[in-house]
Structures are given as structure tokens and as C-alpha cells.
A and B are shown apart, each in its own frame.
Chain A
């Protein structure tokens, strides 16, 4: 059975309980006390020491306020037309998104890893064996989502393990356990896929036609990656959440590159040989 996450950003309240639970359970070192000055998100991005990261997206709307404005409805981002032709959406909205390792079906980091430290475990999760990794760092630029990085003073690369240890004991990952709104759901990938589709249908019926699933072979899990085991329900363009729309598996082109290089090597050899002719 393949397990994964479904992160439903529409119910995320930005509490960061997932970040804290992940840090605590996995005993990940601190990221320091830096302030980004951009938003309440002071972590910024996923890294070897941040395996769950909550993005704070501010979407200002710039329509003018006219007529009789209901400020409560305004703040709640109600989309129904109001009496008196009052324009809404003027305050815009906040969106939160708890980002995590995508656990790709064909994982670029795993294909890049020269030591075989990155494996797929029995839950079909992408897992770095810390006792094998020698810190070459080649998985870091290979990841199309910027998930992995090397941890300073340790040297090795780390990322979300999907709480391998907890799963072995039949428990759900720490972040999903801690999430108070069930924005993070854990389970069988096929099951989560159905749940995601159902939820998107429900959102569409409610008038939120912009909702969609990211992490499928069509969007977010493209280019030979074959989809992700961590899926997301998004309400905006992927780039807004710092996610690529059509990432690709970098190793797809290794064979082609070697063939092109072999041709070049033959040509260069011939040129050198021709130089010997007087």
C-alpha cells in the first residue's frame, strides 16, 4: 500500500501546529530566529531542517468599495451579490498552505542519489537513509520542488520521512495528527485521490471554481515524475504557493546527453587524428 498526504489548503488556518509537531517528533534542529518581514511566515521555505512549512499568501483585491458595505461579509470573503450592488472582495484574502515533500512517484532525488541512500520504503514513501548518505548534495538541485537541503554542521541531506517510524507503529505522521482542521490528511494514496476529487467537486458546487488538485500527472507531477503521493488542493495558481506548474524529471535526459556526448567524443577524436596528417 502506498501512503501519502492530502493537504487541503481551503481549510488551513495557518496555525503552524504541523511545523511544530514535525520539529518536535523528528527532533529537527532550529532554523534560528530570523524574521522575513514579508508576512507571519518566518520560515520561508522547506529545507533539511524544515519538513513542513506553512506559506502565508496575501491576496489583496483592488476593487473599490461602493454602496452599503457589510464589513463582516467582506472579511469572510463572501462571493454572493449583495443588496445595493455593493462590491465585495476589497480586503482580499489570506491563503495558507502547509507545504511538504511531494513523495514523487518517480523521484528525481532518488534517481540522483549516487550512494543509494534515498530509497522507497515499504509504504512507497521516498526515504533518506541517514546512515548511508555521505552528503554529496546532488539530490538538492535535482529536486524540482526545493524540498531537500543539506543540514549545516551535519553535512547530510534531510527531508520529510513521512514519519516512517510512526507509520511502522501504525500511527499517522505527526503533522497530520496535530492538524486541528484536518487540512492535512494521511492515508492510502488511492483513497486520498478520491477524497481530493470529491472535495474539489464540492468546492466547485459552492462556487469556488478555481479549486483544483495539484500533484497529479497533469499538474505538479508532470514531466516523467508521474504524480506525487503528497497532493494539495489549491485555490490559486501553483506559482503563488511557490510550486512549479509543470516540473520535470531531470534524469529523463541523461541517456540523450550521453549519446550526444559520445557523438561529440567521436568527432573530437577524428579531429585530433586528422591533425596528425601532414
Chain B
């Protein structure tokens, strides 16, 4: 129940003016129909936020690996880890998304048409493309690593036929699209807290994705004692900068969401958002990374940033659920001034 509602109910307690329900009291400031939500929330359960997180890691990993390649930074361990990471995230993502469907056996209908205005459609296509490119690149890596049953005709053919470096460059924009489109996917709905933040949702999801990806790479390289010293140094610097950008974008999003950001600070979501995302996922890793560099501190920061990114996705989905269920939020949002209009520039 919204604040205004509970207030008017309290006011009517003690001096009952009508035998009718307080919910239909005409003196109430917010009008609604017995508090029944005027819009329906998304059904998304844990699979979707988990996919958002994995997709972000895949996107950010591809970005880092491609930039390293373009700048001529050679580190075999980094190349190997990033290629297998993209493969792993792109293997798990479709499984989660198909699991989430009401009719999983019809998943292929997603590739029946392409609709540029439907983020769900462009998401399906970009995931399909990125997954296939990532798969080809990882196959080449596997052949080079002798994982395709050693040195045989197949692995020699794979190495000869797959131009991994070219595909890496091609996969980067598609991967980035997968990363930010998860944000646009939630904002292209009627849910106030998401729709209000249409401009910053994509950038925030992408920044969080890149931050988690850098943390993942740094964590794995540290764990295996792999990677050159320079790679780890670059990752450390980049992590620090991207966490700062992510924090700034989340702050800007909160300002943009204004009164509709309330669900993020509700009893149910605040532990995930304030505790999990802002404190454990952004402030703590930044503090750890800002100090003197050490392996254990860097690993702890990576784990925290990864968990924070996951908490952020769950918090956004949970807040959207609460926002859709609140008639007061939707009606104030769709009252004329606040909802995005076609003629708006921003």
C-alpha cells in the first residue's frame, strides 16, 4: 500500500464518515481501484537476472580481449581465459532464457522475425550471433590447446579455417550490444521505475557488465597464477575506473528515477541494492583497489564486484516487480508530465 493510502486510512480511523470502504473514499489524494495493480508485472524469476549478469560478463570480457588484441598486447593466458569465458557465458545464457519461456519447445520462434523496436527480438538475434562467433573463436582456441582430441585432421582444419583474430574484432560490437541491450530490455516496458530510466539503463547495465567481466578475468588469472604482470596491472587500473563509472551511472539513474526509485530502498530490495550493490559491490571493491596492490586484496575485490553485479541485476528486477504492483507509482507516472513522450528529446 502506498504512503498516501495508508495515511488516508489512518485519518479515517476513529472518525468514520461513511460505512463504505476507506479505499473508495473520495477525499483520498490517490485514486485507484481497490489497490489492484493497473499493469501486470514481468513474470521473470531468477533465470533472467542471472542471464543479465552472465551476458554482461561475456560482453565485458569480449571488450577487454578485443582492446588488448587491437593494442598489440600479447598474453596467451588472457586470450585463452577470455575466449573460454565468452563460450561459457554464451552456452549458459540461452539455456536460462529458454528455461524461462512459457513454451520452451518453441524457442526458435525468437528467430522467426527481426524487430528493431523490440529489445527482446534484437536481444535474441545478438545473442545468437555473439554466441556463434564466440563458439567459433573458442573452437579455434580449443584446437590450439589440443582439446579437440589432440593433433588430428579436425583440429588442423579448425585452426586453418577459423580466423579467430578477425572474428574477435567482429564479435566485440555484437557482444557490447548484448551487454547494454539487457538494460534497454527492461526499460522498454510500462513499469515506472524501469521506463523512467530509459536513457541510463543500458549504459548502467553495460558498465556493471564490464566491471564484473574485468573482475572475473582478474580473479581467474590470479587464481591460476596465469597471465603477465602487465595484464594484471591493466586489469587493476581498468577495474578501478569502471567501478567508478558504474557508481556514477547508478547515482545518475537514481536521480533520474526520482520518486519512482522508492522500491529500490524498500525493506525487501534494500539489502540487495544498498547492501549488495552499493556497499559490497561498488564502495568496498573500490576501497580495496584504491589501496596498495596485493594479490589477496585484488581477489577479494573481484569476488565482491562479481557478487555486487549479480545483486544489482536481482535488485533491479525485484524493484520492477514492486513498482508494477504499486498503483500510485504507475498513476503518478502516467499522469502526463512524467512519462516519456514521443516529442521528448531526453
Question: Which A residues contact B (CB, under 8 angstroms)?
Answer: 36, 38-39, 44-45, 47, 55, 57-62, 92, 108, 111-117, 132-138, 140-146, 148-150, 154-157, 222-224, 237, 239-258, 260-265, 267-269, 271-276, 278
Determine the distance from Cα of A6 to Cα of B11 in the docked complex, in whole angstroms: 39
The answer to whether A264 touches B334, judged by C-beta atoms less than 8 angstroms apart, is no
Question: Which residues of B, 12-65, contact A by the 8 Å Cβ criterion?
Answer: 17-18, 20-21, 23-27, 30-34, 36-44, 63-64
Q: Which residues of B contact A267 (CB under 8 A)?
A: 245
Interface centre among A149, A246, A254, A256 (most CB of B within 10 A): A254
Query: Given known contacts A62-B17, A114-B115, A261-B183, is B103 in contact with A250 (CB within 8 Å)?
Result: no
Query: Given known contacts A137-B102, A257-B188, A276-B73, is B245 in contact with A271 (CB within 8 Å)?
Result: yes
CB of B238 within 8 Å of the partner chain: yes
CB distance from B263 to the nearest CB of A (A): 14
CB of B67 within 8 Å of the partner chain: yes
Q: Which residues of A contact B191 (CB under 8 A)?
A: 141
Determine the distance from Cα of A274 to Cα of B330 in the docked complex, in whole angstroms: 43
Query: Given known contacts A155-B103, A239-B32, is B119 in contact with A254 (CB within 8 Å)?
Result: yes
Among B83-91, B142-150, B196-204, B285-293, which stretch is in contact with chain A? B196-204
Interface size on B, residues (CB 8 A): 96
Additional A-B contact list (14), CB under 8 Å, known A59-B26, A154-B102, A246-B335: A38-B23, A62-B18, A134-B102, A134-B109, A135-B106, A140-B42, A239-B33, A244-B38, A245-B331, A250-B195, A252-B342, A258-B181, A276-B234, A278-B230
Q: Which residues of B contact A274 (CB under 8 A)?
A: 241
The 20 sampled A-B contact pairs (Cβ below 8 Å) are A38-B34, A115-B113, A132-B106, A132-B109, A138-B118, A150-B102, A154-B102, A155-B101, A155-B103, A242-B36, A246-B339, A248-B339, A250-B189, A256-B198, A267-B245, A268-B63, A275-B235, A275-B238, A276-B73, A276-B234
Determine the distance from Cα of A242 to Cα of B237 in the docked complex, in whole angstroms: 51
Which residue of the partner chain B has the closest CB to A250?
B188
Determine the distance from Cα of A263 to Cα of B335 in the docked complex, in whole angstroms: 31
Determine the distance from Cα of A258 to Cα of B179 in the docked complex, in whole angstroms: 11
Q: Which residues of A contact B226 (CB under 8 A)?
A: none
Determine the distance from Cα of A271 to Cα of B320 in the docked complex, in whole angstroms: 31
Determine the distance from Cα of A151 to Cα of B78 in the docked complex, in whole angstroms: 47
Q: Which residues of B contact A247 (CB under 8 A)?
A: 190, 334, 339
Which residue of the partner chain B has the closest CB to A140?
B40
Which residue of the partner chain A has the closest CB to B64?
A272
Query: Given known contacts A92-B20, A111-B117, A155-B103, is B340 in contact with A253 (CB within 8 Å)?
Result: yes
Q: Which residues of A contact B82 (CB under 8 A)?
A: none
Determine the distance from Cα of A252 to Cα of B198 in the docked complex, in whole angstroms: 10
Which residue of the partner chain B has the closest CB to A117?
B109
CB distance from A205 to the nearest CB of B (A): 25
Q: Which residues of A contact B27 (CB under 8 A)?
A: 62
